[in-house]
Structure formats: structure tokens, C-alpha cells
Amino acid sequence: MESIHKEKIMKHPLILQSDFGLSDGAVSAMMGVALSIDQNLQIFHNTHDIQPFNVHEASYRLFQSIQYWPAQSVFVSIVDPGVGTDRNSVVLELENGTLLVTPNNGTTSHIAANLHVKSVHEIDIIKHRLKHSSDNYTFDGRDLYAALGAKLASKQVNLEDVGKVLTLADLKTVPIGTHIHTQEYLEGCVEILDVRYGSIWSSIPYDAFLSFKPTLKQKFMVTITHQHRTLFSDAVSFGRGFNDVSVGSPLLYNNSLNRLGLALNQGSFALAHRIQPGLDVKIRISKI
């Protein structure tokens, strides 16, 4: 009975993401709308601490988590600097039936580049907008996305009812991290941080690093630059876990998304070296 009950409540979870923070009632209002549509919905939160207006970060955080949720989960992501304009909105369907409801402003960039997208539907806004909200142009997170997400999660609306079918080419994109792979070095960017611990997550795939045939505690030259200014340059040991180096020492490692990361054991690498993420913050890994 316990396993049957667990399957029931986890069948179509609704997961919210935004740049709203939790200092006011915006997230609560979205939850209220969703529960008004179906009081039995199970609502979860990806994060509401996206840097305001940072579509790239929203895109990355979705990629970081969406692939690990059960099939047919429904994600709603609202980082929407174009709210109130004529920008369109979409529902993305992944191969396992998981859905993403979001403005079409680049939030889907990492998912489209790294995961298999089965279909894209443009949201018919007139049809799916919350009743009596047509004069409000600044809170589509509540009035459109949360409402539609709840209907999809509770199966009150089918994907075919969302709106017309689009192609991947119709999705707006933002630049995402790439890498260069040579026999002597790998180069990418500091795409994002592991915020809590201050570790740097690069755009360099771990598979590319394996071409160097690294061994445990082998040292590699790591150089980080921004606009021709060197932020860090030193030999760094490769390790499986943070305790492979002494406390306070840097470590090159494979992060949870199979990208090269750079950390300080029990410290913040980003804070220690005053490094912020950015596609123009370059990281190079060289053989010694």
C-alpha cells in the first residue's frame, strides 16, 4: 500500500522555479493558484534564487535538475524580463513526457542543447490565462504559467490543448558555454557556480578531460582569465573527492553534471579568488 500511495502522489509533480525570491508573497501566490486548480497537487521548488533577469542561469538550473525527476513531471520556470511584451510562451516536452512551461526567451537553451526534446507547443495565452487577469501584464508567473502548469500536472489539460506545434528552430536561445579541445589543453568558461560552496563549474566536459588520461592527484596547470586579466594561475591536483587534497587547497574534479569543476577543500574558490561566472571568464586546463 505504501508504494502504491507513493506512486500516486509523485506521478505528476509540479516544480516551480523563478527569480522572485521568498521575501514577499509572489511564490505563495503561484502556489495558491496551482492548489486552487487541484488541491491534491504535489508542489516542489527547484529554486527561487535565480539572479534577477538572468535567463542563462535559469536555463542552467533547469538542466541541472529536470533530467533527474520522474517522467511526466511538470516544471514551471519564470525568469521573464520581457513580461508584458508580445514575447510568446511555450511548453517543451521531453522524451520521457516531462514538461516545461516557460516564456520563450532562452530558458530552454541548455535543455535543447543537451537533452532530447520531443515536441514544442506555443501557449495559447487567451485560452489558458487565469480568468479575470487580462488587465494585469506583470505577473504571468501567477496568471499564466502556474495556472497552466497545474492543469497539465493534474491532467485537466492535454498537451495538444496547449496551442499550436512549433519546431526547435522557433525556440529563442541565449549563449551557453562551449569548449575547445586540443592535445595540449582544454579551454572553456566559468559557466556557473555551485553557489553554496563557491566551487566553479566550467563548460568543459569531463569526457574531454579523460583524453588526458588523468591519474589521481596528478597536477594540471589551471588558468582563469577575464578580459586579458589573470584571476588565477597555478598547478592544481585532480581528485575524485574534496578530501583528496588538504583543507584549503584547490582541487580539479568531475562535478555532478560531468563537467570539470574547481573547488577549495572546505572553502570557497570563487570567494577566495573573486571569481564570478560568465561566458567571458575563460578557464584553461593544460598538461604539465
CATH of the domain at 282: 2.40.30.90
Q: What was the pLDDT predicted at 64?
A: 97
Mean pLDDT to the nearest integer, 194-205: 97
Element (H, E) at 122: strand 117-122
SS3 180: strand
Mean pLDDT to the nearest integer, 4-10: 45
Q: Compute CA distances 100 → 6, 93, 209, whole Å.
A: 23, 7, 32
Q: What was the pLDDT predicted at 133?
A: 73
* Strand ranges across the sheet with 14-18: 43-47, 14-18, 74-78, 99-103, 89-94, 117-122, 165-166
Same domain, 133 and 7: yes
Same domain, 122 and 208: no
* Structural domain ending residue among the three candidates 116, 142, 170: 170
Instruction: Decide if pLDDT at 134 tops 80.
Output: no
pLDDT tens digits for range 9-35: 445 899 999 999 999 999 999 999 999
Cα atoms in the 13 Å half-sphere on the side-chain side of 269: 27
Contacts made by residues 19-24, CB under 8 angstroms, sequence distance 24+: 19/48, 19/49, 19/50, 19/51, 19/52, 19/53, 19/54, 19/58, 19/78, 19/79, 20/48, 20/78, 20/141, 21/48, 21/49, 22/48
Same domain, 187 and 80: no
Number of domains in the chain: 2
Q: What was the pLDDT predicted at 86?
A: 87
Among 89, 51, 114, which residue's Cα sits nearest to residue 257? Answer: 114
Instruction: Decide if pLDDT at 7 tops 70.
Output: no
Number of H helices, E strands in the chain: 9, 15
pLDDT tens digits for range 218-253: 999 999 999 989 999 999 999 999 999 999 999 999
Q: What was the pLDDT predicted at 6?
A: 45
Alpha carbon distance 15, 23 (integer Å) = 19
Same domain, 90 and 149: yes
CATH of the domain at 59: 3.40.50.10790
Residue 175 lies in a domain: no
Rg (CA), the chain: 21
Same domain, 161 and 258: no
Instruction: Decide if pLDDT at 257 tops 90.
Output: yes
Q: What was the pLDDT predicted at 55?
A: 98
pLDDT tens digits for range 78-103: 999 999 888 999 999 999 999 999 99
| Cβ–Cβ < 8 Å for 97, 158 | no
% helix, strand, coil for the chain, step of 5: 25, 30, 40
Element (H, E) at 75: strand 74-78
Residue 205 lies in a domain: yes
CB atoms within 10 A of CB 74: 25
Same domain, 156 and 185: no
Those residues with Cβ within 8 angstroms of residue 11's Cβ, 6 or more apart along the chain or in another chain: 70, 72
Instruction: Decide if pLDDT at 5 tops 60.
Output: no
Q: What was the pLDDT predicted at 251?
A: 97
Residue type, 30: M
Mean pLDDT to the nearest integer, 67-78: 97
The DSSP output letter for 151 is H
Those residues with Cβ within 8 angstroms of residue 175's Cβ, 6 or more apart along the chain or in another chain: 56, 279
Residue 209 lies in a domain: yes
Same domain, 212 and 118: no
Instruction: Decide if pLDDT at 268 tops 80.
Output: yes
Full residue range of the structural domain in which residue 233 is found: 180-286
Instruction: Decide if pLDDT at 68 tops 60.
Output: yes
Same domain, 65 and 94: yes
Same domain, 165 and 245: no
CB atoms within 10 A of CB 84: 11
